[in-house]
Every structure is written in C-alpha cells, then in structure tokens.
Copies of this chain bind each other. A is one copy, B any other.
Amino acid sequence: MTGTLYGVGVGPGDPDLITLKALKILRTTPVVAYLAADAAESLARAIAAPHLPGGQAEVVIRVPMRTDPTPGQAVYDRAAEELAAHLEAGRDVAVLCEGDPLLYGSFQYLLNRLAGRAEVRVVPGVTSLTAASAAALAPLASRNDALAVLPAPLDAGVLRDRLRAADAAVIVKLGRHLPKVRAVLDELGLLHRAVYVERVSMDGQRILPLAQVDGPAPYFSMILVPR
C-alpha cells in the first residue's frame, strides 16, 4: 500500500483563495512538501500556514534561485527520492504549490518522476492570472478572443509576434524584463491598454497603468493587456 501524492494548488496569495478540496487534503495529510528558494521562506507554505493543523512532517525542497529560475534537475531527483520514501511507507504526501500546480509550476518535475511509483492527484488552484484580472476589474477575454499567456523572458521579437497573434494577453515572470516588455507594448500601440499588477491578493498589492511604471519589477508581478 503506497501513499498518494497530491499536488495541491493553494492559490495566488490570499489564504482565503484556497479551495475546500485543497483545505481537506491539508487538514488530513501527514506529510507536506514545498519549494523554497535558498534560505527564503516558501510562499506556498506561508499561504497554507493558517490552514495546517500542526503535527505534520514537512519536507523543504531547497531550490537555488537565479533571476530566471532553472534549477538543475538534480534538485528534483533528490526531492522525488525523499517523497518516494514517505509514499512507499504508506504515507500520503501533499506538495503545496502557489497558484496552480501545473501552470508554470514546479510540481510537474515531481509528477514526471513519481507518476509510475505512486498514485498522483492534482488539485487545481486559483491562478495569479485570474486573481490579477479580478483585482483590476479587467476582464481577460470574452466571446471569441484569443488569449496569450507569455513569459517575459522571451526575446522581444518573439513577444512581438505572439502579441500580434492574440486579442488579449497576460505577461508573467516580469522581474528585470519589464523595460523590454514595456518597449514592445509601446511599439505595438498597446501601452495604453496595459495594466501592471504586483503581489496580487497579498499585502502590498499594487495595481496601476503600465505607462506609470519604470525599472525592473519583483518576481511576483505581471502585466494584463485586456482586449
């Protein structure tokens, strides 16, 4: 009898944006795991904190963060082995994931490694995309709009082409790429429509026209380009 591996979306930041389904798993699972950058606190752990009953074992997966996080696969190899030991001992494991586990989430690297060794279930979560749209009261797409979700690290030329092939867009993973993205949007005549959203649903949330934003942005920020 092996345990079940759960990928649990805990939402974009506000602990009240967790689902009942995620909550039930957090309250009953004996092992929780989560990623944390170097010595930093884990955002997923912080979001889940008010909901954890206490007494569960915790596995911290330390990921070396660079400006664009592309940690070596060895981190996930080791983490998968640590989780496998719990699963093979019959203990369910919940991996806490900010936003949704499978939309730009690292859970997929654990899923790839453990899918053949234990039952895996994924609980979808509210993404920062829809949370930003809600906070800004800016509809993302309607009717037959094509919506593009684009990571800011893409080359300016690629971003330009992808934006031209969409009616509306969300640009994620901003960080130091904000000036480049802003220039591309300006060139395409889209700057006046673009909304900058930082730390959505968390303390310090900021929403303002992109035209008023200069310089680099924190990692937890994005740009909405509604139709």
With an 8 A cutoff between CB atoms, is A24 at the interface? yes
| Chain B residue nearest in CB terms to A107 | B139
Residue of A20, A124, A140, A148 ringed by the most chain B CB atoms within 10 A:
A124
Q: Which of B17, B127, B139, B147 is within 8 Å of A21, CB to CB?
A: B17
Q: Which of B131, B149, B165 is within 8 Å of A162, CB to CB?
A: B165
Interface stretch, picked from A56-64, A95-103, A214-222, is A95-103
| Bound-complex Cα distance A105 to B134 (A) | 12
What is the copy number of this chain in the assembly? Answer: 2
With an 8 A cutoff between CB atoms, is A108 at the interface? yes
The answer to whether A20 touches B9, judged by C-beta atoms less than 8 angstroms apart, is: no
- Residues of chain B within 8 A (CB-CB) of A131 are 124
A1-33: contact bitstring with B at CB < 8 Å (1 yes, 0 no)? 000000101011011111111011000000000
With an 8 A cutoff between CB atoms, is A111 at the interface? yes
